């Protein structure tokens, strides 16, 4: 099987992952309309290619919140990487560092923050956070991440409750007994999302700010109104995201929402986007529409499922090559 | 078979109901364009989800014409429930009461109004009415319903003649001999719709008003012009409906017509909608566009076909859970 | 097999006609885009149904060029009816008379004008004409038709050359030896369309006018510019037509062109339309958009293929019933 | 197998060419969206057919850069014709001359310019050029073409790097050992596109101009901005092209880009288009939108694959007949 584009990795993962794991990673809420729209919306955007420009030298390095990365594609926070590869998030961290890009580790990792950090010392890591009913638990996580050298705090805003993913319900999805959400150290049982606090509001950003000097990036913004609120509450970055279409179905595709958010933000904070990136040209479109960087979720998991950190590096390398080629061909 | 969403009940009913019954319930007029559009139109509507709002407590109770119901989903009038479940409309009435919502009993019930009323005493019941050529028959039905404690009178306006449902013609659809349209007490033979009066006009609302103190709700309105006429003729409520796409094919989807009707009515009477509701998020969309409550037709029949009153309660409970979750995720 | 709607007749004809005949009748030019668009365009038009109007009595009779017909659906000119039924155009004429409507006999009939006329004396017949290189042949046809009591002359304007119908080319389509284009009495060989005159212009309308007192109806108009020219050159009627999508592919659907033609004509002459009529509601749409009457082509042939004149009457009766029902349900 | 339309040749080629050759010719970049859009965009354009115009005599000859051709369809530059037919570009040249039209020979021909020229002396030939890192090589090619009587120089502007054609990567596409890119005389190895110079800019047009008196046509323009630059830099013609969708995916269809380019050019130079031409009516659409002539790529290869020069003549003859018929039917 020759791995030429990201769909090849998807096909591999679908074929070789246990069904319960594949279904969990692939799941979208309800009818999966938004999950699929994330991809379709990219296809509706057309380039206006320009010719006869000198494209012999191209610089695709960029900076996010001051840290340089080799190209504008990072790893979005997704849970349970051991479902895809035995070494789980440790492999993810190693691949991201090897490719010189940013990895956002999820609260719902199957490795601890300490293990992730130790697996790829010197790598650019951000930490993704939910706010729990038990605020002390959240506070402890933030402070652990900061102490370990994580350089950004990503607050997920779109999960007051878990979306309804039909196949997960049908499968009775839960982690196999030998995997654990280790960051939560027994404080929660797996998937007991009900420990998340649905009463969180914008004011809790101030509380979070009081706990840490790390920049705060808010993930899950889809409207200009919320983008304005995010800036007003002092976040450093916004990730336009609909949680891969896993939360509210039939909201906007992220690339469509990006336009509206970028317009509202007017450069005051950095804006990123995730969801639906499948080709290097998608990255170029997102950047052309104002994103500073994109993050990939499912494709990273497919890479892991293929060959662990090596597979994920393959995925990133393909995106990088395609991105560079698209830039050249678009002039 | 695990029942996770309403489509699961549809698949069950399609598999286990006799073909003639399934066809009758599923039927749309002509090419079934409007029947299918009712569903597709919901999919075209997109949410603008808002984040970081306190969604820890949500009140989904509402009132229709002054009566409180547990959530804004009632049971639309459909005929011949014994085709779906032996106890027929008695089961429907019990399920509606158990879920604390409104049930609109059809003239074409296979149980009498008295049986329905006795099956679920204290339940919120409305009665759906056609005007017959024999006005005395209609008058008698209205007065029976009022005497039995029904709390609303729903006049169906879109059936001067029955629409052309091809499969019913092919199947030679008629009730099996052991079922009867009991409300009509032998006054009509089954399906002799020709006893309905096609000369009915708006002035007959005044005649109906003279027979009863019950509120009159008119069902089948699809245009602003008719909405204006309905208000002018003193109805208390409007159900935007195209009879599940079973009458005139290639009219508007009800969710699209709702917008126009709500705008014309400007809050003077309550507006409801039926047709195409398949998920809790559809309910949220209808409410966001101005409906006070929605009614479900075919999904209620699928619930009955699955497990009688228990199955219908399952359907309602799923819609309720999905509706609550959608509200939380949309902020 | 129960014949409930026109598609049932289509399925029957497809199953039982010889492939070469089915292909000939079904053929569209090139990719058949326009043939299929004729139907799809009707589906895009939506009714705004009105309720509670007295629809107990409906008059669906109408007049075309002063002659009363039982409902606004006539038979469009199509060739070679013996391919569908042994009695050919004689059966067509009988069915049209039995249903009290208009039949436009084609030059390319497999019966003579005299046979058609004798088969249904007193029927309302129009004659469809091409202008041949040999003008005397055309003149003789016109005068025969007038003498036989035909009441209208339909000049086809869209066939200077025959469109490219791929399956007919593949099949090497030609009439079987026992059928003849009898009207042309050996003057032409079958399918030698090259005897048609491609140099015909608007001025030839004046020549045609000089030959006959019959009203002239022009068939094949699709633009406002040509509609204006038609009125200016003194025709009595216009049939908006694209020859069933058999001539230039990728022109407009006729129902779309109708709107533009009706607007340009401003009631100065009668406007009719053919192409894509498959349901009674299509007839209602065409009338609502300004057509005085519609004509059916392929459905008439399917009716013939099913049971000759009886089958064609079935087709017309179904359309009539559906048309009446649509009128009632649309209010 | 009867060859009625261009799709028949496509089906033949797909069936009989070696998979690696078919894949190479059929390839589009990435998801092949633009390749397919080239065709779909033609289908979205609708004619407004006019009637009763004298179409008995039609002149379809035209001139491109002063040279008369028998109809406005030429052969676009495509590589490796020996993959389709043993005589390769020699057959192409002979067919083009037989049909009295223009053939643009590709740099990546499997015959030398000298062989092509000798195969069809007196034929109208243009030469397609890339600019190589080794400018002397390019200069030598230009001067050889001029000396051999080629009458135009087509500079391809959209290939600073080769697009990503997934199947070619999977197949490890390369020429079979007995074929060579003879024009480059061992200066390059096959497919080593990296010898092309990605630093080429508009100023290199001046350099090219200094080498030759041949008219320069630039191929690959898709925007008004680049069209303006092309005119400003003194080219004689523009071919609106996206390289058959083989370079940047998800740019515009060429027929859509044509409109914008024609508008910008305002008649100052001739504008041609390639990509997606499959029927004579496509040619008519392109001309109606301002193209002076169209060029066909893949259909020419299918013709070669079918029967060499005879097959290519069949393809051209079909297009010519269809084009003439479309003109007549459109009035």
- Note the pLDDT of residue B248: 97
- Among C5, C48, C329, select the one facing B161 at the smallest CB separation: C329
- Note the pLDDT of residue C191: 43
Within a domain: residue C24?
A: yes
State the average pLDDT for chain A: 95
Work out the pLDDT band at D189, boundaries 50, 70, 90.
very low
Number of domains in chain D: 1
Could you tell me if B260 and B51 are in contact, meaning their C-beta atoms sit under 8 angstroms apart?
no
What is the residue-wise DSSP string for B179-248?
Answer: ---GGGTTSS-TT-GGGB-TT--THHHHHHHHH-SS-EEEEEE-SHHHHHHHHHTT-SEEEE--GGGTSS
What is the residue-wise DSSP string for A83-96?
Answer: GT-TTTHHHHHHHH
- Note the pLDDT of residue B186: 58
Record the tokens describing residue A154, joined without a space: 């990503």
Within a domain: residue C88?
A: yes
- Among C199, C229, C248, select the one facing D326 at the smallest CB separation: C248
Within a domain: residue A51?
A: no
- Among C158, C161, C169, select the one facing D325 at the smallest CB separation: C161
Q: Is D198 on the interface with A (CB under 8 A)?
A: yes
Could you tell me if D35 and D163 are in contact, meaning their C-beta atoms sit under 8 angstroms apart?
no
> Rounded CA gap, C70 and B145, in Å?
45
**Strands D216-221 and A73-75, sheet pairing:** unpaired
> Rounded CA gap, D107 and D96, in Å?
18
Q: Which residues of B touch A33 (CB under 8 A)?
A: 43
Contact D281 C250 (CB under 8 A): yes
- The beta strand positions in chain A, using DSSP E, are 62-64, 67-69, 73-75, 102-105, 124-129, 152-156, 216-221, 237-240, 270-274, 293-296
pLDDT tens for C207-228 read 999 999 999 999 999 999 999 9
Instruction: Please state the φ and ψ torsions of residue B274, each to the nearest 5 degrees.
Output: -130, 170
Annotated binding site of A: 24, 77-79, 106, 128, 130, 156, 165, 219, 241, 243, 246, 274-278, 297-298
Contact D226 A51 (CB under 8 A): yes
Q: Is D279 on the interface with C (CB under 8 A)?
A: yes
pLDDT, mean of residues C60-77:
98
Q: Find the closest chain D residue to C260 by CA distance.
A: D48
Q: How far apart are the first and last CA of chain B?
A: 33
Work out the pLDDT band at C193, boundaries 50, 70, 90.
low
Query: Is a pLDDT exceeding 90 seen at residue A29?
Result: yes
Within a domain: residue A157?
A: yes
- Note the pLDDT of residue D110: 97
Range of the domain at D160: 6-44+59-188+200-326
Within a domain: residue A28?
A: yes
Contact A169 B50 (CB under 8 A): no
Within a domain: residue B241?
A: yes
Q: Which of B133, B157, B160 to mutate to test the interface with C (most CBs of C within 10 A)?
A: B160
Within a domain: residue C229?
A: yes
Work out the pLDDT band at C184, boundaries 50, 70, 90.
confident
- Give the burial class of A231: count Cβ atoms within 10 A of its Cβ; 0-12 exposed, 13-18 middle, 19 or more buried: middle
Work out the pLDDT band at A193, boundaries 50, 70, 90.
low
Dihedral angle of Cα D16, D21, D26, D28, to the nearest 10 degrees: 160
Q: Is B247 on the interface with A (CB under 8 A)?
A: no
DSSP letter, residue C17: S
Task: Average the pLDDT over each of C77-91, C138-152, D192-206 and give the range with the smallest value.
Answer: D192-206
Could you tell me if A60 and A71 are in contact, meaning their C-beta atoms sit under 8 angstroms apart?
yes
pLDDT tens for B241-295 read 999 999 999 999 999 999 999 999 999 999 999 999 999 999 999 999 999 999 9
What is the residue-wise DSSP string for B255-283?
Answer: HHHHHHHHHHHTTSSEEEEES---SHHHH
- Among A43, A51, A56, select the one facing D158 at the smallest CB separation: A51
Q: Find the closest chain D residue to A327 by CA distance.
A: D248
Q: Is A326 on the interface with D (CB under 8 A)?
A: yes
> Rounded CA gap, B188 and D34, in Å?
63
Within a domain: residue D51?
A: no
Query: Is a pLDDT exceeding 60 seen at residue D188?
Result: no
Could you tell me if B322 and B282 are in contact, meaning their C-beta atoms sit under 8 angstroms apart?
no
Do C and D make contact via 3 or more CB pairs under 8 A? The reply is yes
Q: What percent of chain A has pLDDT over 70?
A: 97
Could you give the residue numbers annotated as active site of D?
243
Annotated binding site of B for FMN: 77-79, 106, 128, 130, 156, 219, 241, 274-278, 297-298
- Note the pLDDT of residue A189: 46
Residue B243 among the catalytic residues: yes
> Rounded CA gap, C217 and D57, in Å?
27
| Cα within 13 Å of Cα(B326), Cβ side | 24
pLDDT tens for B26-84 read 999 999 999 999 999 999 999 999 999 999 999 999 999 999 999 999 999 999 999 99
- Note the pLDDT of residue B189: 46
> Rounded CA gap, D189 and B295, in Å?
71
Distance from CA of A276 to the nearest CA of D (A): 14
Could you tell me if C236 and C270 are in contact, meaning their C-beta atoms sit under 8 angstroms apart?
yes
- Among C45, C50, C281, select the one facing B30 at the smallest CB separation: C281
Distance from CA of B273 to the nearest CA of A (A): 20
Q: Is D242 on the interface with C (CB under 8 A)?
A: no
Q: Which of B80, B145, B75, B120 is nearest to B300 (CA)?
A: B75
Count of Cβ atoms closer than 10 Å to residue B143 Cβ: 13
Distance from CA of A155 to the nearest CA of B (A): 11
Residues contacting residue C191 through CB under 8 Å, at least 6 positions apart: C173, C174, C175
Contact B50 A247 (CB under 8 A): no
> Rounded CA gap, A161 and C202, in Å?
72
Could you tell me if D308 and D96 are in contact, meaning their C-beta atoms sit under 8 angstroms apart?
no
> Rounded CA gap, D76 and D240, in Å?
12
Could you tell me if B222 and C329 are in contact, meaning their C-beta atoms sit under 8 angstroms apart?
no
pLDDT tens for B294-323 read 999 999 999 999 999 999 999 999 999 999
> Rounded CA gap, B120 and B25, in Å?
24
pLDDT, mean of residues C12-40:
98
Contact B54 A201 (CB under 8 A): yes
Q: Is D256 on the interface with A (CB under 8 A)?
A: no
State the average pLDDT for chain B: 95
Count of Cβ atoms closer than 10 Å to residue C210 Cβ: 8
ipTM of the complex: 0.94
Do B and A make contact via 3 or more CB pairs under 8 A? The reply is yes
- C147: domain CATH number? 3.20.20.70
- Note the pLDDT of residue B184: 82
What is the residue-wise DSSP string for D81-92?
Answer: GGGT-TTTHHHH
């Amino acid at each position: 099987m020759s791995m030429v584009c990201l769909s090849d990795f998807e096909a591999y993962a679908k074929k070789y992952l246990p069904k319960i794991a594949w279904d969990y990673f692939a799941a979208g809420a309800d009818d999966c309309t938004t999950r699929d729209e994330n991809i379709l919306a990219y296809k509706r955007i057309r380039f206006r290619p320009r010719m006869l420009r000198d494209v012999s030298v191209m610089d695709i390095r960029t900076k996010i919140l001051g840290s340089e990365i080799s190209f504008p594609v990072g790893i979005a926070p997704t849970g349970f990487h051991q479902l895809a590869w035995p070494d789980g998030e440790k492999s993810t961290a190693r691949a991201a560092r090897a490719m010189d890009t940013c990895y956002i580790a999820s609260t719902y990792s199957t490795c601890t923050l300490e293990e992730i950090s130790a697996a790829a010392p010197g790598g650019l890591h951000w930490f993704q956070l939910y706010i729990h009913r038990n605020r002390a638990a959240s506070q402890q996580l933030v402070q652990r991440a900061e102490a370990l050298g994580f350089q950004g705090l990503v607050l997920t805003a779109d999960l007051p409750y878990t979306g309804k993913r039909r196949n997960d319900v049908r499968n009775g999805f839960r982690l196999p007994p030998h995997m654990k959400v280790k960051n939560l150290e027994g404080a929660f049982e797996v998937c007991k999302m009900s420990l998340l606090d649905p009463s969180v509001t914008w004011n809790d950003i101030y509380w979070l700010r009081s706990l840490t000097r790390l920049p705060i990036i808010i993930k899950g913004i889809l409207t200009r109104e919320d983008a304005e609120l995010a800036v007003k509450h002092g976040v450093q970055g916004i990730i336009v995201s609909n949680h891969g279409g896993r939360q509210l179905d039939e909201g906007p595709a992220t690339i469509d929402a990006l336009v509206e958010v970028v317009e509202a933000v007017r450069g005051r904070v950095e804006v990123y986007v995730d969801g639906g990136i499948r080709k290097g040209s998608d990255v170029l479109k997102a950047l052309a529409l104002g994103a500073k960087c994109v993050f990939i979720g499912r494709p990273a998991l497919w890479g892991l499922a293929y060959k662990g950190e090596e597979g994920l590096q393959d995925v990133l390398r393909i995106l990088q090559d395609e991105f560079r080629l698209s830039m050249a061909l678009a002039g």
